[in-house]
């Protein structure tokens, strides 16, 4: 009980206090031994004061004055040992005791107590899985507090402007009573720690959504029993997204199709070298009138940009288009004339790679697994970054390759190796960090997805109940009502020029209208689909504040709470 206040002090304070308490003891012990040695070995008695003076001068390496000659070997050895001990102490005191003390005094202190979390989202443990979610919460101005257990990570988050609380749920029970009224709780730690946080939150009366990210799918049911409302397995969600990009059986019409509304689809297609679109601008190719699909965004150099009608389409550009099933099919035939047949190679057989191969095989695809280590399920053993190994795995005749390698650097380099070997192959790559996705795209990948992106969109849907489909961080597709525009000419060209939004289509009952002349008018029950950046969509609602945003059609999984 006596030492409890001392233990509650910061470590640098405890170290400095130990130093100040131990120095007099060390000084006195050295002085007493010196006094005894001078008396018995040198026959030159010294007073206690003079012995302490000698010990202080020696330990601090400041000199000896007049007491600097000894004849007995043991006494000489003792003096040498004390000299080296003094030098060692001088080198040790500043880096170990003094500097940490001043750093802690002048650095911003990390809070260790949760603030009032009303209307906040509390994120337990920072990592790549939650980066996209944090960006989305920042965009919609939902305040976030991160509960972090790693001191270095917490310090880094604080320096980058994040509200962070440092703690350790194994050593202390955080006061989660402040969670009452919070908008949500996101758990991104080890599965067992996530369960502790969920149980503690429910025990303290929190009734809101708890989203848990688990690594082991077997922990889904226990996590739900612990109090989670939604359980997401990030690696498996990423694997499903990668498999859907690679397989025309999973995405039957073109890769990357999402069902939107009742009659429209979102598709991503790569412009191949044999495509009639290559080298032509969107205006010159008349894509909308010839196919019935509208190109709403372009992947160029790893960045998703809004459409410039006069910009020529280059080989390798990925088109993001919206249209009916037939319109998307026609555009797919123009942009991707290369037949999508043959096996799919999965390079890398970790957790994500195993799930990708499993999903592809369930869809009836011919899958060839390539990995450095021999294991059950691996068809070709070798370095996926070596051209000879890729050729041996059959990359030249494959329809697609999915790179699920250990690091983002390996995914980037693997993309360049595969693209140089087979220029027309579909390359789908997995990344751990969202900021590396654009780099992998620039290296030549058709599609690159990060675990943070796919997990972040799922978590954002459950936390925010968003009413748009995210095509990428900067481009959105929304549906709106006609509002006060009903019964008046619909100025689609003016809307694009003034706001930057593209009017994709108008849904009128069972009819989808994608061509608008100057006489076209909206009706009261029409649903208008718009595409644009966050800024252009905001500009649209400034121009037409009475149009209300409608929820984009969302098709939940069979069991929405388990993913």
CATH number of the domain within which 67 lies: 1.10.287.70
Comparison of pLDDT for 65 and 143, the residue scoring more: 143
- Which range (349-363, 413-427, 488-502) has the least confidence? 488-502
Q: How many CB atoms lie within 10 A of CB 403?
A: 29
Provide the pLDDT confidence category of residue 378 given band limits of 50, 70 and 90: very high
Above 70 in pLDDT, residue 183? yes
Burial class of residue 211 in the structure, from the number of CB atoms within 10 Å of its CB (0-12 exposed, 13-18 middle, 19+ buried):
buried
CA distance linking residue 529 with residue 469, whole number of Å: 11
Decide if 277 is inside a domain: no
473 and 377 in a single domain? The answer is no
CA torsion through residues 63, 65, 67, 70, sign: positive
Residue 507's domain spans which residues? Answer: 467-550
Above 50 in pLDDT, residue 557? no
Task: Kindly provide the residue ranges of all beta strands, DSSP E only, lying in 273-338, ordered along the sequence.
Answer: 293-300, 303-306, 318-323
3-state secondary structure at position 378: coil
- The residue written with tokens 């525009």 in the block is 485
Please list the residues that pair with 268 across neighbouring strands.
320
Decide if 334 is inside a domain: no
Decide if 320 is inside a domain: no
73 and 163 in a single domain? The answer is no
- The pLDDT of residue 329: 86
Q: For position 481, which CATH number holds?
A: 3.30.70.1450
Decide if 562 is inside a domain: no
Provide the pLDDT confidence category of residue 254 given band limits of 50, 70 and 90: low
Helix H or strand E segment including 13: helix 11-40
The model carries a pTM of 0.62
100 and 128 in a single domain? The answer is no
Provide the pLDDT confidence category of residue 393 given band limits of 50, 70 and 90: very high
CA distance linking residue 521 with residue 506, whole number of Å: 10
Above 90 in pLDDT, residue 360? yes
- The pLDDT of residue 5: 54
Comparison of pLDDT for 189 and 517, the residue scoring more: 189
User: Which of 188, 177, 279 is CA-nearest to residue 233?
Assistant: 188
Task: Report the percent of the chain where pLDDT is more than 70.
Answer: 85
126 and 207 in a single domain? The answer is yes
Please list the residues that pair with 177 across neighbouring strands.
none
Where helices occur in 41-92 by DSSP H, the ranges are 48-59, 73-92
Decide if 437 is inside a domain: yes
Q: What is the pLDDT of residues 298-338, one digit of tens each?
A: 877 656 777 888 888 888 788 888 888 888 888 888 887 55
56 and 135 in a single domain? The answer is no
- The pLDDT of residue 406: 92
Above 50 in pLDDT, residue 559? no
Q: Which two structure tokens, joined as six digits, stand for 43?
A: 């026959």
CA distance linking residue 540 with residue 530, whole number of Å: 9
Comparison of pLDDT for 150 and 59, the residue scoring more: 150
Provide the pLDDT confidence category of residue 163 given band limits of 50, 70 and 90: very high
3-state secondary structure at position 493: helix
- The residue written with tokens 């009734």 in the block is 207
Domain boundary among 176, 199, 232: 232
What rounded mean pLDDT belongs to the chain?
Answer: 82
Decide if 272 is inside a domain: no
Above 70 in pLDDT, residue 562? no
Domain boundary among 453, 482, 508: 453
Above 90 in pLDDT, residue 145? yes
Above 90 in pLDDT, residue 538? no
- The pLDDT of residue 337: 57
Comparison of pLDDT for 552 and 176, the residue scoring more: 176
- Which range (229-238, 240-249, 334-343) has the least confidence? 334-343
- The pLDDT of residue 210: 94
∠ CA(391), CA(394), CA(396), 5° rounding? 75
Domain boundary among 180, 210, 232: 232
Decide if 135 is inside a domain: yes
Task: Kindly provide the residue ranges of all beta strands, DSSP E only, lying in 287-435, ordered along the sequence.
Answer: 293-300, 303-306, 318-323, 344-347, 367-371, 380-381, 400-403, 426-431
Q: For position 449, which CATH number holds?
A: 3.40.50.720
Structural domains of the chain, count: 4
């Amino acid at each position: 009980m006596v030492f409890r206040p001392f233990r509650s002090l910061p470590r640098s304070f405890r170290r400095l206090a130990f130093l100040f308490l131990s120095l007099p003891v060390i000084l006195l012990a050295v002085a007493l031994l010196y006094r005894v040695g001078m008396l018995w070995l040198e026959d030159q008695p010294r007073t206690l004061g003079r012995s302490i003076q000698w010990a202080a001068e020696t330990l601090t390496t400041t000199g000896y004055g007049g007491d600097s000659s000894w004849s007995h070997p043991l006494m000489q050895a003792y003096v040498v040992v004390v000299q080296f001990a003094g030098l060692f102490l001088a080198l040790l005191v500043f880096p170990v005791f003094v500097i940490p003390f001043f750093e802690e005094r002048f650095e911003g202190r990390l809070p260790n107590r949760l603030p009032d979390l009303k209307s906040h989202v509390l994120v337990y443990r920072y990592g790549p899985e939650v980066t996209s979610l944090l960006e989305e919460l920042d965009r919609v101005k939902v305040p976030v507090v991160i509960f972090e257990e790693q001191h270095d990570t917490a310090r880094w988050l604080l320096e980058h402007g994040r509200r962070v609380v440092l703690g350790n749920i194994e050593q202390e029970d955080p006061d989660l009573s402040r969670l009452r009224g919070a908008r949500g709780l996101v758990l991104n730690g080890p599965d067992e720690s996530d369960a502790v946080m969920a149980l503690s939150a429910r025990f303290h009366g929190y009734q809101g959504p708890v989203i848990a990210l688990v690594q082991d799918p077997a922990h889904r049911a226990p996590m739900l029993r612990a109090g989670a409302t939604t359980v997401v397995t990030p690696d498996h969600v990423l694997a499903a997204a990668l498999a859907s990009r690679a397989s025309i059986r999973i995405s039957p019409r073109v890769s990357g199709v999402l069902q939107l509304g009742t009659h429209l689809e979102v598709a991503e297609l790569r412009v191949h070298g044999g495509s009639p679109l290559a080298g032509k601008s969107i205006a010159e190719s008349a894509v909308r009138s010839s196919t019935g699909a509208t190109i709403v965004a372009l992947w160029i150099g790893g960045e998703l940009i809004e459409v410039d009608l006069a910009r020529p389409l280059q080989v390798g550009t990925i088109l993001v288009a919206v249209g009916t099933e037939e319109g998307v099919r026609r555009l797919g035939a123009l942009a991707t004339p290369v037949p999508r047949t043959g096996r799919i190679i999965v390079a890398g057989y970790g957790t994500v790679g195993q799930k990708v191969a499993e999903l592809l095989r369930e869809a009836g695809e011919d899958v060839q697994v390539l990995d450095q280590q021999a294991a059950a399920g691996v068809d070709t053993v070798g370095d996926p970054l070596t051209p000879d190994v890729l050729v041996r795995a059959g990359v030249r005749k494959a329809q697609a390759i999915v790179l699920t390698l250990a690091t983002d650097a390996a995914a980037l380099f693997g993309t360049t190796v595969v693209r140089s070997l087979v220029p027309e192959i579909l390359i789908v790559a997995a990344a751990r960090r969202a900021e590396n996705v654009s780099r992998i795209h620039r290296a030549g990948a058709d599609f690159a997805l990060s675990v943070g992106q796919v997990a972040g969109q799922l978590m954002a849907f459950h936390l925010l109940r968003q009413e748009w489909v995210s095509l990428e961080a900067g481009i959105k597709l929304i549906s709106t009502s006609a509002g006060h525009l009903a019964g008046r000419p619909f100025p689609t060209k003016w809307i694009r020029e003034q706001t930057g939004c593209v009017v994709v289509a108008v849904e009128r009952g069972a009819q989808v209208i994608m061509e608008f002349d100057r006489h076209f008018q909206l009706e009261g029950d029409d649903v208008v689909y718009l595409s644009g950046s966050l800024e252009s969509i905001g500009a649209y609602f400034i121009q037409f504040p009475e149009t209300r945003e409608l929820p984009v059609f969302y098709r939940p999984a069979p069991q929405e709470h388990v993913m």
